Amino acid sequence: MPGLYFTTTEFLDDAKSAAKDRGMPEIRTLALPADKYYVGRASQQQLQPIADLFFDKMVDALTRPLTPEEAKPSQVQELHENALIKVSGRDFLDASERVNDLFLSNHWADGLPIVPPTPELVKAMEAGTTRSPKDVLAQVAPKSGTATVEKIAINAVMAGAKPEYFPVILAAMEGFTNKHYDLTHVQASTGSFTPVVLVDGPIAQELGFNSGIGMLGHGWRANSTVGRALRLALLNIGQTWPQVNDMALTGRLEAYTFYTFAEDTAKSPWEPYNVSQGFQVGDSTVTVSSSGNPVIFGGGAVAPWTAQGVIDQVVTQIRTRGVVWPHAQKHILVLHPDCAVELANHGYTRKSLQEYLYEQTRVPYEKLAKQVSFGQGTEEDFIRASIADGRIRPDRAQIFLDNLKPGGRVPVVQGPDDFHVVVAGGSPGYDLLFTYPGTNWAHQTVKITGATLTKAGE
């Protein structure tokens, strides 16, 4: 069927890249001027001058006979990305600088200096796991690049990670590439989401992850380089690049290392987070999730706070946001240890806190949006459709149906388990809420296994 695709100038490379990925590199595309389209799109009247400008081009694109290349484009050849690359310099520093220049110009780096991934260093990295270098973990979105253990090791070397961190990185990559983790959206969306990487269990302490003051900051090699290794592996194996097919409009707030931290299981009044996800006490795990801008609660070192007050603030924050895609929504609440202990002293378990959050954040039926922001229909229509097609689980559907009426209180998530409660931070500390405003799930916990250089994670 002859067709035409309208995009905007800022998304033209993205459109062409996607067309090539799907085997139709010659699809006809017209790019509207971004600087005029986005400001004018509120009304047809404002867009009329652009429509006038592009009408004849549209007719031409729909009717002009094909060129031979459009009719039968050359088969895209597979690029073999396994050859060793030789880079010479007048000394080691010069050669290393040239490697950095080459990698960045090829879009293989993140803009910070990388460690040149020599075969010797990669082999040393691979020694951190029992897995074979040629093992294939998965295909990485958006371009479905093949993630072997070796490819991930190359990226881990570039990031400056130690071989003992490697099993954590592999487990995290398994989480990111799980079919239930919406990696394409996280990697490419204009929404500018940042992955969350939570390390839990004894391996966190053994590797020196920071879970206290400054847990999301710099200064701890494990936090920094595990996060950066994942940044580079997703960039290189999934093959993304800003302004080409990674269209995060602001970039990511933790662009180089993601939100990578560990739970402070020693100071938590509750069982480790990963136990709440079905793992055993003593298991080491990594949880990968995703977040928009996190919100901070509590008084920190400058203002008084109460644990109940913090929870009330969290409830208000979520209720104000309203019911947005309840089939997929998840929240990670990171409580600093003092707040968690206070809550425990008031009788809260992790489970009862989850149930409290679930109940208190429910939104009055009358406040459901009359027009969803992403298409046609009301929020009630969307929730009913989500029930009908099974995205809201059958065992949770009746609760929604019972409340889709005047006086009802509609849940913002499918169930209490969609509030993930983690303990980390300093004393004093703040409390953090990570929310992924995506439309599909992006939250996976994976057991760390195959470690050869640590006691945990074997």
Partner 1 sequence: MKRNTDWFRAAALLVAGLCSAATASAQVTLEVMNPRGEIPPPKTLGISPRGGNLDGKKIVLIDNGKFGASNFLDALANMLKQKYPTATIVMYPKPAAQTITDLPKWYPTVKQQGDLFVFGVGD
Binding residues for partner 1 restricted to 119-178, rule: CB under 8 A: 119, 122, 139-140, 143-147, 150-151, 154-155, 158
Write a three-state SS string for 326-354: CCCCEEEEEECHHHHHHHHHCCCCHHHHH
Please identify, using beta-carbon distances, which residue of 50 and 315 lies nearer to partner 1.
50
Distance CA 283, CA 278 (A): 10
Rg of the chain, C-alpha, whole Å? 24
> Of residues 299-338, which lie at the interface with partner 1 (CB under 8 A)?
325
Interface with partner 1 (CB under 8 A), residue from 9, 118, 280, 306 = 118
**Footprint of partner 1 on 2-31 (CB under 8 A):** 2-8, 11, 14-15, 21-28
- Which is it for strands 285-291 and 409-410: parallel, antiparallel or unpaired? unpaired
Question: What's at 363, amino acid-wise?
Answer: V
In this structure, are residues 432 and 334 in contact, taking their beta carbons and an 8 Å threshold? yes
**CB distance 172 to 286 below 8 Å:** yes
Residue found under tokens 């592999």:
170
Nearer to partner 1, 107 or 447 (CB): 107
Q: Is the dihedral of CA 447, 449, 451, 454 positive or negative?
A: positive
Give the number of residues in contact with partner 1, rule: CB under 8 A: 108
- CA dist 189 and 117 (Å) reads 30
Stretch near partner 1 under the rule CB under 8 A, chosen from 116-124, 204-212, 278-286, 450-458: 116-124
**Exactly one of 17, 108, 284, 424 binds partner 1 (CB under 8 A); which one?**
108
Residue closer to partner 1 by CB (options 115, 344) is 115
- Assess 95 for contact with partner 1 (CB under 8 A): yes
- Chain residues 46-75 in contact with partner 1, contact rule CB under 8 A: 46-48, 50-52, 55, 58-59, 62-66, 70-75
Under the binding rule (CB under 8 A), the answer on residue 383 touching partner 1 is no
Q: Which of 57, 85, 243, 393 binds partner 1 (CB under 8 A)?
A: 85
Secondary structure element (H or E) that encloses residue 420, with its range: strand 419-423
Query: Is residue 86 within the footprint of partner 1 (CB under 8 A)?
Result: yes
Report the nearest approach of partner 1 to the CB of residue 260 (Å). 19
Q: How far apart are CA 305 and CA 95, in angstroms?
A: 54
Residue 326: Cβ within 10 Å count: 23
Q: Which stretch binds partner 1 (CB under 8 A): 110-118, 195-203, 207-215, 251-259?
A: 110-118
Return the residues of window 220-249 that contact partner 1 according to CB under 8 A.
Answer: 232-233, 236-239, 247
Q: Is 33 in the site for partner 1 (CB under 8 A)?
A: no
Residues 360-379 that bind partner 1 (CB under 8 A): 372-377
Task: For residue 145, give the H/E element and its range.
Answer: strand 145-148
Window 248 to 287, contacts with partner 1 (CB under 8 A)? none
H/E element, 14: helix 12-21
Tokens of 95: 């050669």
Q: What does the per-residue mask of binding to partner 1 show for 190-209, with x meaning CB under 8 A?
A: x-------------------
Q: CB 339 → partner 1: shortest distance, Å?
A: 34
Q: Is 394 in the site for partner 1 (CB under 8 A)?
A: no
To the nearest 10 degrees (0 to 180), the angle between helices 307-321 and 350-360 is 40
Q: How far is the CB of 8 from partner 1 (least distance, A)?
A: 7
- Is 82 one of the binding residues for partner 1 (CB under 8 A)? yes
Instruction: Tell which one of 16, 17, 37, 273 touches partner 1 (CB under 8 A).
Output: 37
Q: How far is the CB of 115 from partner 1 (least distance, A)?
A: 10
- The residue among 232 and 341 lying less far from partner 1, judged by its C-beta, is 232
> Of 43 and 105, which CB lies nearer to partner 1 in the complex structure?
43
- HSE on the CB side for 363, CA within 13 Å? 21
The interface region with partner 1, picked from 39-47, 208-216, 258-266, 279-287 by CB under 8 A, is: 39-47
Q: How far is the CB of 174 from partner 1 (least distance, A)?
A: 15
Among 9, 89, 345, 455, binds partner 1 (CB under 8 A): 89
Residue among 196, 220, 212 at smallest CA distance from 268: 212
Least distance in Å: CB of 158 to partner 1? 6
Smaller CB distance to partner 1: residue 5 or 365? 5
Measured distance CA(118)–CA(148) in Å, rounded: 17
Both ends of the chain: CA-CA distance in Å? 55
Binding residue (CB under 8 A) for partner 1 from 16, 36, 57, 90:
90
- Local structure of residue 283 (DSSP, 8 states): -
Bin 294: left if φ > 0, else alpha if -120 < ψ < 50, else beta. beta
Which single residue is written with the structure tokens 């995009």?
7
CA distance 91 to 326: 58
Smallest separation (angstroms) from partner 1 to the CB of 412? 15
Supply 32's token pair. 């509207």
